[in-house]
Structure 1
Amino acid sequence: MSPCNKIMSFFVKPWVMVLAVSLIAFCFFFVDKPLTEFFFDIDLRHNYKFLELFTKLGAGFFYFSAFILGIFIFRYIRVNTDWEAKCWFLLLCVLIPSSICGFLKVVLGRARPSMLLEGQYFGFYGFQTHSPFWSFPSGHTTTIMSVAAGLSLLYPRSSSYVLTVGFLVAVSRIILNHHYLSDVLAATYLVFIELAALLWVLRKQKWLESAWKNPQCSRYGCSNRTISSQ
């Protein structure tokens, strides 16, 4: 079982869900403010400028463009149904969590760390259409963890590497004061829950099998043997 499958299998357990919500709430009430002030004081954003480039790996435009372009190429130019299915799978891995993340950002309206540091705005302000109030959950974390998890499911042997990069980008959102710890924790947890649900649907409907079906099967990704036994 790949690391990504292990994480999903663990995260969908009811007691883990309760624990995750409790941890996020604890961070909101007791950790977010002091941690933000700590990283503001050491000012990594200006002292280590390469971190600003690294954190941009979580920007979604490149991934959406790459996966859509891949679908077009492997469907019409260099026809390859397996690679087209992989591009569709990765696109869904990013599109679904990102859409849910965007919806939650607007509906919940959490003030970003910059709003705390500049104007003492902290917490959730309900429906907001301005990006300074789109802190929860973290969009960059959602994107990079979706890509990392999707690649991990397609290429289990590379799971450790891509997930490590994903987690490091997520951490960069915190230490650069772009997001609170609870924003990043919530985004990461939601990604794995949403992708577990996506894989369940794909498996049940047998959609894009050539993309996600591989010998290293788990509860959320199955091999030929598993499918044939159902």
Structure 2
Amino acid sequence: MKNFLKRFDEIFIDLINGKMSNRFLDKFMYRFTDLGGAIFNSVIACSFLLLGDRSIRLLGLEALGSLGLSQLIVQALKRGLGRERPYKILENLHTFGINMKDYSFPSGHTTASFSLATIIGLNIPRVWILVVFLALIVGISRVYLAVHYPTDVVAGMMLGIGCSLIVHFQLLKIIEDIGIFIGII
């Protein structure tokens, strides 16, 4: 299994970071990747709380719950596993001067993007394809920028989706009760 995952990483990092590389994607991916960051995702979730009706405010609380749960797990795994980022290990990568101080596994940007996309998709099914597509581009951007291995991104996808499903199907009533108690809903 370890050899399969290593080969998977080698094939897809070469494809995404090497063969896809061009000036347009260099600029696009460098900017687009920020859509997976904690600030952007938190702003989106909070805007649901501030600008929406009751159901959208509940979506905002649900998104914050999923983002919080998933990022706790991301940080525990990063610290526990300590996987160095590809630009620090691999040679001949197309890099962008990004210097990150934390570890690589799993991708926090991808986790947050898929966490938010899954919650939005579960609550507003007509935009499901769009939000998942945007989350996927965030994940691809992380490999394109050489800050994550493809397996980091796949793990982030699974983690974001998994946490969102737990929050939506197991914890939503608790989140709703908290929202009612604090007067948000």
TM range (shorter): 0.7 to 0.9
- Residue 65 of structure 1 aligns with which residue? 43
TM-superposition CA deviations, 1:74-101 (whole Å, max 9, x none): 6xxx9x4333222111111212111211
TM-score by length of structure 1 reads: 0.63
**Counterpart code for 1:188:** M
Q: CA deviation at 1:26?
A: 5.0
Structure 1 segments unaligned to the other structure (5+ residues): 1-21, 119-129, 212-230
Q: 1:132 to 1:36 in 2, by over 3 A?
A: farther
CA distance in 2, matches of 1:137, 1:177: 14
1:171 aligns with 2:118: no
Q: What pairs up with 1:1-230 in 2 under 5 angstroms?
A: 25-33=2-10, 35-36=12-13, 41-42=18-19, 44=21, 48=25, 49-68=27-46, 70-71=48-49, 73=50, 80-117=53-90, 131-132=100-101, 134-202=103-171, 205=173, 207-208=175-176
2:90 alignment partner, SS class: helix
- Residue 228 of structure 1 aligns with which residue? none
Q: 1:93 to 1:27 in 2, by over 3 A?
A: farther
CA distance in 2, matches of 1:157, 1:194: 21
1:44 alignment partner, SS class: coil
Q: Which of these two proteins has the greater Rg computed from alpha carbons?
A: 1
Structure 2 segments unaligned to the other structure (5+ residues): 92-98, 180-185
**Counterpart code for 1:95:** G
2:148 alignment partner, SS class: coil
**Counterpart code for 1:165:** L
**Counterpart code for 2:34:** K
Task: Decide whether the 8 Å contact of 1:45 with 1:176 is kept in 2.
Answer: no
Bigger shift: residues 108-117 or 172-181: 172-181
> Aligned-pair RMSD on alpha carbons?
3.0
Task: Decide whether the 8 Å contact of 1:97 with 1:191 is kept in 2.
Answer: yes
**Number of equivalences:** 171
Task: Decide whether the 8 Å contact of 2:17 with 2:143 is kept in 1.
Answer: no
